[in-house]
A and B are shown apart, each in its own frame.
Chain A
Amino acid sequence: MEASNFTDHISRRFNKDIEDLRNSVLSMGGLVETQLSKAIAAIVSGDSELGLKVANDDYKVNNLEVDIDEECSRILATRAPAAGDLRLIVAIIKTITDLERIGDEAEKIGFLASKLAGMDRPADSYRELKNLGSHVSHMLRDAMNAFARMDVSEALEVVREDELVDDEYDAITRQCITFMMEDPRSIKRVMNVTWAARSLERIGDHAKNICEYVIYMVEGRDVRHTDISEDIVGE
């Protein structure tokens, strides 16, 4: 497996440190994924209790970020890693920031879910949010899988998927505007829906960022702010 790139050191402690670090990033990812899916479930099923629980649990994600950050600094200071290891650490420092932001967005969605649960629900019970949500959760899952497997092609897949999410977000916004024009009384509710959609769209962007870090980590090339649709795989 490719991950073994990082498990070849003379010092076995260093191996273990790096492996543990990778594992804790992935378990942080797992926690964030669970938070996100719970937040989406809360909005779709109108479960205010679940929504509040998601919002209250965000501190766990934050704590993990702080812990991992500290561990990264420790490794940087004591081991002075080079090449692949250095890229891994740098990528991890950036990844956890994005994961933490995803956690924040999930918290926001959970909070919005508890608000929306108290208002009247549309007949389709937020189907469009559900679709967008499942799309975004997929992206996040694939991004974390790409991170675990150091899989560039899977990462690229996610980067491309982000465009679809952006399109979907646009469609929801348009729909929301139509609703608000038709019935101004619904503005309060629809605004919340817009915010939730906005949060989901942001999560898609963060997932995309994580994938870019994966590409950086494996290939050593920075692909941020570049057009990578026709890139890399061919090499």
Chain B
Amino acid sequence: MPGSSRRLILGVVGILVAGGLIGWVYGHAAWGLLVAALVILLWQTRQLLSFNKAVQTRDFEQFRYGEGIWQQMFSRYNYEHERALRAKREYRRLLKEIRRSTDAMPDGAVILDEDNQIIMCNKAAKRLGGLKRKKDRGQRVDNILRDPKLTELLRSNAFAQEIEIPSPVKEEGWLNCRVVPYGANQKLLILRDITEQIRLTKMRRDFVANASHELRSPLTVISGYLDSLSEDVNLEKDWGQPVRQMQQQARRMNTVVAELLELSRLESAGQASKDEVVDVSGLLAAARKSYLGQDDVAEIEVVTESSAQLLAAGNEVESLISNLLSNAVRHTPADGRITLAWRVANGGAEISVTDTGEGIPPDQVPRLTERFYRVHRGRAREDGGVGLGLAIVKHTLNRHDAELRITSDLGKGSEFCCRFPAERVVLEPPVPILSGGKRG
């Protein structure tokens, strides 16, 4: 570069000096300089024009008059241009690769900006959600996937939550939606086709319900005969014990079947209605009463901290309490203590059952609500539990938008806490309308 710059300067100065000298020889130095300057101007203009033409056509051959610094500029330009082209090609290839890989994903992915407007979506989103790639860009995603649940999810920014919405394109199809934070202020909406899963769950549920139902009638016959056998005076002595045991087991099986049926009913039922007003403290007291006068049962205490009432299905809440209490009784030694509490807390209300029993190992806690799951495999069947109690509790709570929280200290005791949302709680007990007297 410095070489060619120096050459250009030398050339210009040389011509000017030569023109000035020649002019001076003839007595007109100014004219000589002027002519030299014109020559330089012409020379540079020609090269500039030629350069322009070469740049426009991108043809190196066109740059015929190029020399010195112009030549250098052109090759520099050419080099940069080639490089930019190559980079562009590379980016385009990369973009295509990325696009192809997102298109190959089986799950729909939609990139949203902070106002939930669609920035980009992949092919699966198009297939699953009926989005249109070009047309829907800039459209809010819940304008196209118009399920109130999805709108609510996007509004609340609850990133851990998953919801299920009916598929907008497939008849009786279902989509699972999840929103994850993505980049600066952006969100990624992930759609997954769960039609098959839903169908399988339904099939399983139907199977359990049907099987339990079918088991019921033979079981009734068997228990019936066993009952009359056990009362038969002519029964041989050796048979007494086996028949009693069979009777016991038949009764157990009856309970299992009944609880399975209850469970499948709870599973397939939708939200519990809010029409019934339930007096929880009364139910707690009644549950306590049922254990009164029994030996080797821990002391049971009822703590009512609130007169609030619950909008729920009364019989279900009753069975929920009796399930939790019977668990507590079973796992608490006779010198222990069980506390049933009803309180308003954390923007809702809680029924809590606390015991000073043996506690549950922490790694087992999340599995407690599985059907037939048992903490102690061995002692399982002696204590009379079927293994469905907590599953029923969980499903009952699901139906009431409530959640079950289990905290437990091994060796010290456990707390089972059912938390109901505020919309299911009536703080003031309703004033009876026909109260007679005038209220001022």
Contacts and interface: CB of A to CB of B under 8 A. Distances in A.
Nearest to A16: B115
Contacts, number: 53
A3 B140 CA distance: 11
Contacts of A37: 166
Given A23-B140, A27-B142, A134-B171, A34 B148 contact: yes
Given A30-B151, A50-B270, A149-B132, A1 B146 contact: no
Interface in B225-260: none
A3 B138 contact: yes
Main secondary structure of the interface of B (DSSP, over half): loop
Interface in B162-182: 166, 168, 171
A3 B139 contact: yes
A17 B271 CA distance: 36
A145 B273 CA distance: 33
Main secondary structure of the interface of A (DSSP, over half): helix
B161 interface: no
B139 A30 contact: no
Given A23-B140, A134-B171, A141-B168, A30 B146 contact: yes
Interface in A15-29: 22-23, 26-27, 29
Interface in B123-178: 130, 132, 135-140, 142-144, 146-148, 151, 166, 168, 171
A27 B139 contact: no
Contacts of A151: 135
B146 A144 contact: yes
Contacts of A212: none
Given A49-B270, A53-B270, A148-B143, A27 B138 contact: no
Interface of B: 130, 132, 135-140, 142-144, 146-148, 151, 166, 168, 171, 269-271, 273
30 contacts: A1-B135, A1-B137, A1-B138, A1-B139, A3-B138, A3-B139, A23-B142, A26-B140, A26-B143, A26-B146, A27-B142, A27-B146, A27-B151, A29-B146, A30-B142, A31-B148, A33-B147, A34-B148, A37-B166, A49-B270, A49-B273, A50-B270, A53-B270, A134-B171, A145-B144, A148-B139, A148-B144, A148-B146, A149-B132, A149-B139
